[in-house]
Structure 1
Amino acid sequence: MLIQFTDFLPVPKPDLTKVKFNIRAGTGGPEAWDLLLADDPEDWLNMNRHRERHQNNNLGPAQFLLSFAQYYPYGPQYFIFGGFFQVSAVVPELIGGPGYALAPLDEHSEYIKRLIVKLERPVGRDLYLRWYETLQGSKLNPAVYELAPDTKLGPFPGFQNVRLKHHELQRIIANDEPNWKDALSSVKGVYVIADLSSGQLYVGSASGEAGGLWQRWSSYANLGNLTGGNRGLENLRAELGGGHIVDNFQYSILEIFDPKTKAETILLRESFWKLALGSRVHGMNRN
């Protein structure tokens, strides 16, 4: 039996709390889940701060807000928790923009990007913003569907959109995330590692026969390894420690290749990218 929404997420003032089920930012805009996932929280906050001309679509006299983003990997009736906020109206009144100030509260913060609720029906234009005290038993009637052990990362975004912090890479490898593993195992490639604290780059490649990018990046995710045996990265770890890598490294893909591509072809492209990005002269490559 599923746990009821209000039993799992009690609030201090039910009669002054609204619940917002965000889908996307405007017509044809980015998905709410993508905004919640982004490094910069402002776009996610602005989605929840927005004040429209139609009063029924606004926070009105609410003093608190429970916010959710549609978790589209599961389907239209699933929403993931995005935070609990104290609400105050912006004065003078602003229509068509951030008309409310939202102050994040610690209460329920441990469930952000982990708690998924399921609604009995998809959210429509007239249902996405509801009063907390009338929500349970309504047409939406949400129930707790899943509490993930760690932050949800979402589906594989496409090779051209991969941008992983080290802690995200660790989690993907440790959890054997199926869609990430399927994608990264299916290709060889040239990749770039950025040290976000200094801007220095390291260009590498997965040119072996088995495992593709997944196998290569697995060594970087291993806290007992972190460098994949690369001399430039080994030097950095010796100088600044493994914690520097975990805190500051980001992984992206420059080019992908069919698994049957000869290693020589991929190594030539790796050399091209080292020259193009200056990673030998100004970065962390040592060959």
Structure 2
Amino acid sequence: MIRFEDFMPVPDPGRTKVKLNIRAGSGGAAAWDLLLADDPDEWLNMTRHRELHQNNNMGSASYVLTFAQYYPYGPQYFIFGGFFRVQPVIPTLIGGSGYELEPLAQYSEYVKRLIIKLDRPVGRDLYLRWYDKIQASKLNPKVYELAPDTKLGTFPGYQNLRVKHESLQRIIANDEPSWKDALSSVKGVYVITDLSSGRLYVGSASGEANGLWQRWSSYANLRNLTGGNQELERLRAELGDAHIVENFQYSILEIFDPKTSRETILKRESFWKLALDSRNHGMNMN
């Protein structure tokens, strides 16, 4: 494997740190989940964090390379989260964030694609290291993988699912195993949100052999994008394919055993249309 410092040289090795994030505090969100979050501040806040009793100036570093533990592979794998210039806040602070992070273009094409592997798991004394010392340390990072596309993460669970259309297309196209297994195992009622307007469309996978996976595959089809729905087709004709790809988000309202009758699921779909008023103020026409 290629040595980390050979693959990612930096402009000022002696003033660059490498931050290997695992979790946001004791029992907090996993770093990889925060890197995946739609709000970039979720990830930046983790990278900014320092102990409250310390002078929070990133040890006078000028740059920081950030990584998140990539738990689908194991505790010694970390995925790249960006290269930042460290800009101290003046006057310095004790507690709170003592510096701002300016994203740099260098290595931006590797974000959520580059995975490094360490020789040993990260402990509390190892998660923040100077770049020019990390290669010779116990961690000894090496390049493990450079994925052809950004990683999407494993299936988050039915109750936590919130996926944008662009990501759904990639999930379906790549037959992402954890997503396919989960979505093929259930029927369900789902909601599509147009994030640009807040309008909702409630639909269901009630008769498909492969449940939600089969139904959502129709939305991910580049030649369709709407699953044949009348109002979505109108919106597509008016605003174009790009509007759907960039603004539509998919979530699950209710799941059912595959043996559940079509009539039962359609009744629940009707309930959710009433509950969310998606006929009068959304995109449902029936």
* TM value normalised by structure 2: 0.97
Q: In the alignment, which residue of structure 2 is the partner of 1:217?
A: 216
Is the CA contact 1:8–1:144 (under 8 Å) kept in the aligned structure 2? yes
Is the CA contact 2:202–2:278 (under 8 Å) kept in the aligned structure 1? yes
Matched, 1:94 2:93: yes
What SS class does the counterpart of residue 59 from structure 2 fall into? coil
Q: List 4+ stretches of structure 1 deviating above 6 A.
A: none
Matched, 1:155 2:147: no
User: After superposition, where does 1:192-211 map in structure 2 within 5 Å?
Assistant: 192-211=191-210
**Equivalent position amino acid for 1:167 in 2:** E
Matched, 1:286 2:285: yes
* Offset, 1:58: 6.1
| Residues 142 and 235 of structure 1, relative CA distance in 2, 3 Å threshold | same
User: After superposition, where does 1:24-103 map in structure 2 within 5 Å?
Assistant: 24-52=23-51, 59-103=58-102
Q: In the alignment, which residue of structure 2 is the partner of 1:259?
A: 258
What SS class does the counterpart of residue 124 from structure 2 fall into? coil
| Residues 66 and 165 of structure 1, relative CA distance in 2, 3 Å threshold | same
Is the CA contact 1:50–1:96 (under 8 Å) kept in the aligned structure 2? no
RMSD over aligned CA atoms reads 1.4
Is the CA contact 2:211–2:258 (under 8 Å) kept in the aligned structure 1? yes
| Residues 58 and 143 of structure 1, relative CA distance in 2, 3 Å threshold | farther
User: After superposition, where does 1:159-174 map in structure 2 within 5 Å?
Assistant: 159-174=158-173
Q: 1:46-84: per-residue Cα shift (whole Å, max 9, x none)?
A: 211223257699621211100101111111111000010
**Equivalent position amino acid for 2:37 in 1:** A
Gapped regions of structure 2 (runs ≥ 5):
none
Q: In the alignment, which residue of structure 1 is the partner of 2:105?
A: 106
Is the CA contact 1:69–1:81 (under 8 Å) kept in the aligned structure 2? yes
CA distance in 2, matches of 1:29, 1:58: 23
Is the CA contact 2:19–2:128 (under 8 Å) kept in the aligned structure 1? yes
Q: 1:64-109: per-residue Cα shift (whole Å, max 9, x none)?
A: 1001011111111110000101112222222232111111100000
CA distance in 2, matches of 1:154, 1:57: 31
CA distance in 1, matches of 2:28, 2:154: 19
Is the CA contact 1:23–1:31 (under 8 Å) kept in the aligned structure 2? yes
Q: 1:2-49: per-residue Cα shift (whole Å, max 9, x none)?
A: 011001111011111110101111111111111111111112112112
Q: In the alignment, which residue of structure 2 is the partner of 1:237?
A: 236
Q: In the alignment, which residue of structure 1 is the partner of 2:174?
A: 175
**Alignment size in residue pairs:** 286
Is the CA contact 1:51–1:94 (under 8 Å) kept in the aligned structure 2? no
CA distance in 2, matches of 1:227, 1:53: 50
Is the CA contact 2:54–2:95 (under 8 Å) kept in the aligned structure 1? no
Q: In the alignment, which residue of structure 2 is the partner of 1:3?
A: 2
